[in-house]
Amino acid sequence: MIDSPNDWPPATSSGPLAVLCSGGLDSAVLLAETVQHYPSVYPIYIQVGAFWETLEREYLDRFLAALACPALRPLTTLEQPAGDLYGKHWSMTGDNVPDDSTPDEAVYLPGRNVLLLSKSLIWCHLNGVSELALATLSANPFPDATPAFFDGFADVVGRAVNGTVRIIRPYASLKKADVVKRVPGTLLKHTLSCIRPVAGLHCGCCNKCAERKYAFAGTGIADPTTYSPITSAQ
Protein backbone atom coordinates (compact mmCIF):
# COMPACT_ATOMS: atom_id res chain seq x y z
CA MET A 1 0.00 0.00 0.00
CA ILE A 2 1.28 3.45 -0.90
CA ASP A 3 1.20 5.37 2.36
CA SER A 4 4.17 7.68 2.03
CA PRO A 5 5.01 10.68 -0.18
CA ASN A 6 8.38 8.97 -0.75
CA ASP A 7 6.53 6.40 -2.89
CA TRP A 8 4.47 9.07 -4.63
CA PRO A 9 3.83 9.78 -7.37
CA PRO A 10 4.64 6.42 -8.97
CA ALA A 11 7.25 6.41 -11.72
CA THR A 12 5.02 4.44 -14.09
CA SER A 13 1.28 3.91 -13.90
CA SER A 14 -0.40 2.01 -16.70
CA GLY A 15 -3.75 1.37 -15.04
CA PRO A 16 -6.67 3.60 -14.06
CA LEU A 17 -7.08 5.17 -10.62
CA ALA A 18 -10.10 6.43 -8.70
CA VAL A 19 -9.75 9.34 -6.28
CA LEU A 20 -12.22 9.94 -3.48
CA CYS A 21 -12.69 13.70 -3.60
CA SER A 22 -14.73 16.10 -1.51
CA GLY A 23 -13.87 19.50 -2.92
CA GLY A 24 -11.56 20.19 0.00
CA LEU A 25 -7.86 21.06 -0.09
CA ASP A 26 -6.35 17.62 0.48
CA SER A 27 -8.33 15.57 -2.02
CA ALA A 28 -8.11 18.36 -4.61
CA VAL A 29 -4.32 18.40 -4.41
CA LEU A 30 -4.26 14.61 -4.64
CA LEU A 31 -6.46 14.72 -7.73
CA ALA A 32 -4.25 17.39 -9.32
CA GLU A 33 -1.18 15.21 -8.81
CA THR A 34 -2.72 11.97 -10.01
CA VAL A 35 -3.83 13.33 -13.39
CA GLN A 36 -0.17 14.05 -14.16
CA HIS A 37 0.88 10.42 -13.60
CA TYR A 38 -2.05 8.13 -14.41
CA PRO A 39 -3.57 7.60 -17.87
CA SER A 40 -7.12 7.66 -16.47
CA VAL A 41 -8.28 9.23 -13.20
CA TYR A 42 -11.87 8.90 -12.00
CA PRO A 43 -12.94 11.40 -9.32
CA ILE A 44 -15.65 10.04 -7.02
CA TYR A 45 -17.87 12.18 -4.80
CA ILE A 46 -20.02 10.59 -2.10
CA GLN A 47 -23.22 12.51 -1.38
CA VAL A 48 -24.37 11.93 2.22
CA GLY A 49 -26.65 14.94 2.70
CA ALA A 50 -24.33 17.11 4.80
CA PHE A 51 -25.24 20.76 5.38
CA TRP A 52 -22.41 22.09 3.23
CA GLU A 53 -22.69 19.69 0.29
CA THR A 54 -24.51 21.92 -2.21
CA LEU A 55 -21.78 24.55 -2.05
CA GLU A 56 -19.08 21.90 -1.83
CA ARG A 57 -20.23 20.47 -5.16
CA GLU A 58 -20.13 23.92 -6.74
CA TYR A 59 -16.51 24.35 -5.65
CA LEU A 60 -15.62 20.85 -6.79
CA ASP A 61 -17.14 21.46 -10.22
CA ARG A 62 -15.09 24.65 -10.51
CA PHE A 63 -11.95 22.83 -9.49
CA LEU A 64 -12.50 20.06 -12.01
CA ALA A 65 -13.08 22.64 -14.76
CA ALA A 66 -9.82 24.39 -13.85
CA LEU A 67 -7.96 21.07 -13.74
CA ALA A 68 -9.35 19.71 -17.02
CA CYS A 69 -6.84 17.50 -18.85
CA PRO A 70 -6.91 14.30 -20.96
CA ALA A 71 -6.46 11.94 -18.00
CA LEU A 72 -9.32 13.39 -15.96
CA ARG A 73 -12.57 11.48 -16.35
CA PRO A 74 -16.06 12.87 -15.58
CA LEU A 75 -17.06 13.08 -11.92
CA THR A 76 -18.95 10.10 -10.54
CA THR A 77 -21.44 10.96 -7.78
CA LEU A 78 -22.61 8.14 -5.53
CA GLU A 79 -25.49 8.69 -3.12
CA GLN A 80 -25.10 7.43 0.43
CA PRO A 81 -27.73 9.34 2.47
CA ALA A 82 -26.84 9.57 6.16
CA GLY A 83 -29.65 11.74 7.48
CA ASP A 84 -31.39 8.72 8.99
CA LEU A 85 -28.17 7.90 10.85
CA TYR A 86 -27.04 11.33 12.00
CA GLY A 87 -30.48 12.90 12.58
CA LYS A 88 -30.11 16.42 14.01
CA HIS A 89 -26.31 16.25 14.15
CA TRP A 90 -24.62 19.57 13.33
CA SER A 91 -23.29 18.12 10.07
CA MET A 92 -26.87 17.71 8.85
CA THR A 93 -28.45 20.87 10.25
CA GLY A 94 -25.67 23.46 10.30
CA ASP A 95 -26.55 24.26 13.94
CA ASN A 96 -23.92 24.45 16.68
CA VAL A 97 -21.07 23.77 14.24
CA PRO A 98 -17.68 23.36 16.00
CA ASP A 99 -15.90 26.70 15.90
CA ASP A 100 -12.26 27.72 15.57
CA SER A 101 -11.61 27.12 19.29
CA THR A 102 -12.47 23.41 19.19
CA PRO A 103 -10.04 20.47 18.84
CA ASP A 104 -9.98 18.15 15.82
CA GLU A 105 -12.04 15.59 17.71
CA ALA A 106 -15.01 17.98 17.68
CA VAL A 107 -15.61 17.36 13.98
CA TYR A 108 -15.70 13.57 14.23
CA LEU A 109 -18.51 11.99 12.20
CA PRO A 110 -19.02 8.40 13.41
CA GLY A 111 -18.28 5.87 10.69
CA ARG A 112 -17.83 8.50 7.98
CA ASN A 113 -15.12 6.54 6.16
CA VAL A 114 -17.34 3.46 6.17
CA LEU A 115 -19.94 5.49 4.29
CA LEU A 116 -17.41 6.99 1.90
CA LEU A 117 -15.57 3.77 1.12
CA SER A 118 -18.28 1.13 0.85
CA LYS A 119 -19.86 2.32 -2.38
CA SER A 120 -16.66 3.73 -3.86
CA LEU A 121 -14.80 0.42 -3.48
CA ILE A 122 -17.68 -1.50 -5.05
CA TRP A 123 -17.84 1.06 -7.89
CA CYS A 124 -14.14 0.51 -8.52
CA HIS A 125 -14.67 -3.26 -8.63
CA LEU A 126 -17.58 -2.99 -11.06
CA ASN A 127 -15.71 -0.58 -13.33
CA GLY A 128 -12.35 -2.34 -13.49
CA VAL A 129 -10.43 0.19 -11.40
CA SER A 130 -8.00 -1.58 -9.09
CA GLU A 131 -6.84 1.35 -6.94
CA LEU A 132 -8.68 3.97 -4.90
CA ALA A 133 -6.71 6.94 -3.55
CA LEU A 134 -7.60 8.89 -0.41
CA ALA A 135 -6.03 12.09 0.92
CA THR A 136 -5.95 11.08 4.59
CA LEU A 137 -3.34 13.09 6.52
CA SER A 138 -1.09 12.27 9.46
CA ALA A 139 -3.03 14.52 11.84
CA ASN A 140 -6.27 12.57 11.42
CA PRO A 141 -7.03 11.27 14.94
CA PHE A 142 -10.13 9.22 14.17
CA PRO A 143 -10.50 5.43 14.52
CA ASP A 144 -11.67 4.98 10.92
CA ALA A 145 -8.49 6.56 9.54
CA THR A 146 -5.91 4.05 10.79
CA PRO A 147 -3.87 1.71 8.55
CA ALA A 148 -5.59 -1.25 10.22
CA PHE A 149 -9.02 0.12 9.38
CA PHE A 150 -8.22 0.79 5.72
CA ASP A 151 -6.53 -2.57 5.19
CA GLY A 152 -9.31 -4.44 6.96
CA PHE A 153 -12.13 -2.63 5.22
CA ALA A 154 -10.63 -3.11 1.75
CA ASP A 155 -10.19 -6.79 2.55
CA VAL A 156 -13.80 -7.20 3.70
CA VAL A 157 -15.20 -5.52 0.58
CA GLY A 158 -12.80 -7.53 -1.59
CA ARG A 159 -14.09 -10.78 -0.12
CA ALA A 160 -17.68 -9.62 -0.60
CA VAL A 161 -17.18 -9.09 -4.35
CA ASN A 162 -14.48 -11.71 -4.91
CA GLY A 163 -12.01 -9.12 -6.09
CA THR A 164 -9.27 -6.75 -4.97
CA VAL A 165 -9.21 -2.96 -4.91
CA ARG A 166 -6.23 -1.37 -3.18
CA ILE A 167 -6.64 1.72 -1.01
CA ILE A 168 -3.65 4.02 -1.35
CA ARG A 169 -2.97 6.94 1.01
CA PRO A 170 0.09 8.80 -0.28
CA TYR A 171 -0.36 11.73 2.13
CA ALA A 172 -0.65 9.61 5.27
CA SER A 173 2.56 11.03 6.74
CA LEU A 174 1.93 14.65 5.72
CA LYS A 175 0.33 17.64 7.42
CA LYS A 176 -2.06 19.99 5.61
CA ALA A 177 0.64 22.64 5.21
CA ASP A 178 2.81 20.06 3.40
CA VAL A 179 -0.04 19.27 1.02
CA VAL A 180 -0.81 22.92 0.23
CA LYS A 181 2.70 23.35 -1.18
CA ARG A 182 2.30 20.57 -3.75
CA VAL A 183 0.20 22.47 -6.33
CA PRO A 184 -0.16 26.09 -7.52
CA GLY A 185 -2.18 28.27 -5.15
CA THR A 186 -4.33 29.47 -8.03
CA LEU A 187 -5.96 26.03 -8.15
CA LEU A 188 -6.67 26.01 -4.43
CA LYS A 189 -9.04 28.97 -4.60
CA HIS A 190 -11.53 26.51 -6.09
CA THR A 191 -11.61 24.33 -2.95
CA LEU A 192 -13.97 24.42 0.02
CA SER A 193 -13.02 23.48 3.58
CA CYS A 194 -15.86 25.19 5.47
CA ILE A 195 -18.51 23.27 7.44
CA ARG A 196 -20.68 26.37 7.97
CA PRO A 197 -20.54 28.31 4.67
CA VAL A 198 -22.23 31.70 4.49
CA ALA A 199 -23.62 33.15 1.25
CA GLY A 200 -21.38 30.96 -0.88
CA LEU A 201 -18.21 31.75 1.07
CA HIS A 202 -16.06 30.19 3.80
CA CYS A 203 -17.38 31.41 7.15
CA GLY A 204 -13.86 31.94 8.48
CA CYS A 205 -14.87 30.91 12.00
CA CYS A 206 -15.50 27.16 12.01
CA ASN A 207 -13.07 24.43 12.98
CA LYS A 208 -12.24 23.62 9.35
CA CYS A 209 -11.74 27.23 8.30
CA ALA A 210 -9.28 27.61 11.17
CA GLU A 211 -7.43 24.51 9.98
CA ARG A 212 -7.30 25.94 6.44
CA LYS A 213 -5.99 29.33 7.60
CA TYR A 214 -3.34 27.66 9.75
CA ALA A 215 -2.16 25.51 6.83
CA PHE A 216 -1.60 28.48 4.54
CA ALA A 217 0.03 30.50 7.32
CA GLY A 218 2.50 27.66 7.85
CA THR A 219 3.66 27.71 4.24
CA GLY A 220 4.14 31.38 3.51
CA ILE A 221 1.80 30.93 0.54
CA ALA A 222 -0.91 33.56 0.22
CA ASP A 223 -4.31 32.20 1.18
CA PRO A 224 -6.51 32.56 -1.94
CA THR A 225 -9.70 32.02 0.08
CA THR A 226 -12.44 34.64 0.36
CA TYR A 227 -13.92 34.48 3.85
CA SER A 228 -17.35 35.84 4.70
CA PRO A 229 -17.13 39.39 6.13
CA ILE A 230 -20.34 38.70 8.06
CA THR A 231 -19.09 35.91 10.32
CA SER A 232 -15.48 37.08 10.37
CA ALA A 233 -16.55 40.37 11.88
CA GLN A 234 -18.48 38.71 14.70
Q: Are 35 and 205 in contact (CB under 8 A)?
A: no
In a domain, 131, yes or no: yes
Confidence (pLDDT) at 177: 93
Write down the pTM of the prediction. 0.92
In a domain, 223, yes or no: no
Confidence (pLDDT) at 1: 42
Mean per-residue pLDDT, 178-204: 93
In a domain, 222, yes or no: no
In a domain, 214, yes or no: no
Q: Give the tens place of pLDDT for each residue, 79-134.
A: 999 999 999 999 999 999 999 999 988 999 999 999 999 999 999 999 999 999 99
In a domain, 229, yes or no: no
In a domain, 215, yes or no: no
Checking if the pLDDT of 163 tops 90, the result is yes
Handedness of CA 145, 27, 182, 204 (dihedral sign): negative
Q: Could you give the number of structural domains in the chain?
A: 1
In a domain, 148, yes or no: yes
* pLDDT band with cut points at 50, 70 and 90 for residue 160: very high
Mean per-residue pLDDT, 25-41: 95
Q: Give the tens place of pLDDT for each residue, 198-228.
A: 999 999 999 999 999 999 998 888 999 999 9
| 107 closest CA partner among 218, 227, 232, 196 | 196
Confidence (pLDDT) at 234: 47
CATH of the domain at 88: 3.40.50.620
> The domain containing residue 173 runs over which residues?
5-183
Residues found in the chain = 234
In a domain, 106, yes or no: yes
